[in-house]
Structure 1
Amino acid sequence: MAGGRVAHPTLKGPSVVKEIAIGIALGLCAATVWKMHHWNEQRKTRTFYDLLEKGEISVVAEEQ
């Protein structure tokens, strides 16, 4: 009886270049989302102070 050999796939380690590329891509995506959030908050603040300066809004509560 001949002992049959089972062909097992050879396990390869992670590809360093691929891991770096994926890390850079994920980092750029996260940075883009964060920067867009920052720009949106900046725009809201700038709009608020512009309206405050024009007198269209006030931070003082109106008396009833």
Structure 2
Amino acid sequence: MGAPKIAHAAYKGPSIMKEIFYGISLGLAAGFLWKMHQWSEQRKRKEFYDLLDAGRITTVVGEEDE
């Protein structure tokens, strides 16, 4: 009895379509994370200016009694 032949996968090189798909996917994921960060910062700024306009906070340093 002879030994069974095992088919080995031959390396064909990089797949252009896979590389494009991976690049687009990573780009979209990074862009979405950056946009989420921007929305968070925008919300913080809006809350700050809303409180400032309502007079609940101030940016003027109060005078200390001496």
Shorter-chain-normalised TM-score: which range? 0.7 to 0.9
- How many equivalent pairs are there? 58
| Percent pairwise identity | 57
Q: For residue 17 of structure 2, give the secondary structure of its aligned residue in structure 1.
A: helix
Query: Which 5+ residue runs of structure 2 have no aligned equivalent?
Result: 1-6
Per the alignment, residue 62 of structure 2 pairs with 62
Question: Take 2:9 and 2:37, find their aligned partners in 1: how far apart are those partners?
Answer: 46
User: What TM-score results when the alignment is normalised by the length of structure 2?
Assistant: 0.79
Aligned Cα root-mean-square deviation (Å): 1.5
**What is the correspondence of 1:44-55 to structure 2 with a 5 Å cutoff?**
44-55=44-55
User: What TM-score results when the alignment is normalised by the length of structure 1?
Assistant: 0.81
Query: Shift in Å at residue 13 of structure 1?
Result: 1.1
